[in-house]
Structure formats: C-alpha cells, structure tokens
Amino acid sequence: CSVCAAPRSTSSRNTRIEAEWVIYKMSTRTASVHAKWIIGKVIGTKMQKTAKVRVTRLVLNSYLLKFYNKRKTYFAHDAEEQCTVGDVVLLKALPERRTKHVKHEVAEIVFKVGNIIDPITKKRCCGSRMFDPLTDFDSDMGSLNDQFKNLEVNASQSNSEHKASTN
C-alpha cells in the first residue's frame, strides 16, 4: 500500500518528471500535424491562393454504438488557383505552416466538379441530369435499351460462370 511504502528518493522522482516532460514535448511537436494526407471537398475559394476544404470522417459513439459524421475545415494553399467549389481534393500536410491558418497544400484534384462522365452513355452528367443531350448517339453505340440489355447479359453470364467455377 502507498502508506507503508518507503518514500521515493527525489532523484528518481526528478528523472521521471524530466522523462515525462521530454515525452510531452516530443508529442506536442509531432502532434501539430496529425495526418499527412487528407481528402476533402472544397467549400470556398474566395481567398487568394487558398482553398477552404471540409473533411468529413465517421466517429463511433462507444455508448450508442452508432457512427456520426465529424467535420473539420482546413485551409490549404492552392498555388495555381485551380480549385473550384465542389471539387474533391487531396491535401498534403506542410512540414511547417505557411500562415496562421494554412497548414496544408492541395496535392491533387481527385474529382473535378462537373466533369463526371456516365459510363454507359459516355456523356457528361451531374447526378441524374445529363449536360449533353442523349438523342445524338453514335450509330455504332446503339440505343440505351441495347446497352442495358448488354449489361444484364454480361452480369448473368458472369454470375453463371462464377457458380460453375465454385462447384
């Protein structure tokens, strides 16, 4: 028990405190940049050469056992000012901060907003809305119904081949 134990010598206590202080200083130095690479969505580009990026991650509530979205906003250096609102970008942590708030830089634009191509029609789209009209298909592509039937046939063939290979 702590009452019966002999008092510790002051020299061992001082070395323990010094060791804890060194560990604390090292952790604060390395904890300034938690993640080296972060992926997020651009929510603002009004500042010069700076993009405001929102990063969303899932956090588990240990009591309710339910995941919740936790959002954090970062300011990232965008040298060429090529980001627009809605882009999905990859951020790289800087070794030292550029300004008071800017600690990351835009390494790559993963998905450019408005530049998504539908794999079936090969046309630019946004959600279910097509930017280009669907009526002017190339003659070698055929109609949309033929494309969907071809996909269904390919899917059923791959399922039957998979079942045959597992048996």
Question: What pLDDT shows up at residue 110?
Answer: 87
Q: Classify 142 in phi/psi space as left (phi over 0), alpha (psi -120 to 50) or beta.
A: left
Distance CA(134)–CA(143), nearest Å, equals 10
Please give the structure tokens belonging to residue 80: 């060429």
pLDDT score, position 30: 44
Residue 104 neighbours by CB under 8 Å, 6+ apart: 38, 53, 74, 75, 76, 77, 91, 92, 93, 94
Q: What is the pTM of this model?
A: 0.53
- What does each of the 167 residues of the chain score in pLDDT, given as a tens digit? 455 555 555 555 666 666 665 555 554 444 444 678 999 999 999 999 999 999 999 999 999 999 999 999 999 999 999 999 988 999 999 999 899 999 999 999 988 887 777 777 777 776 667 777 766 555 555 666 776 677 766 666 666 666 566 65
CA distances from 72 to 60, 124, 154, 165 (A): 16, 31, 43, 47
pLDDT at 53: 95
| Token pair belonging to 27 | 């952790």
Q: Is 113 exposed, middle or buried (0-12, 13-18, 19+ CB in 10 A)?
A: middle
Question: In the chain, what's the furthest Cα-to-Cα distance?
Answer: 93
Q: How far is CA 28 from CA 21, 24, 120, 134, 145, in A?
A: 11, 6, 51, 57, 60
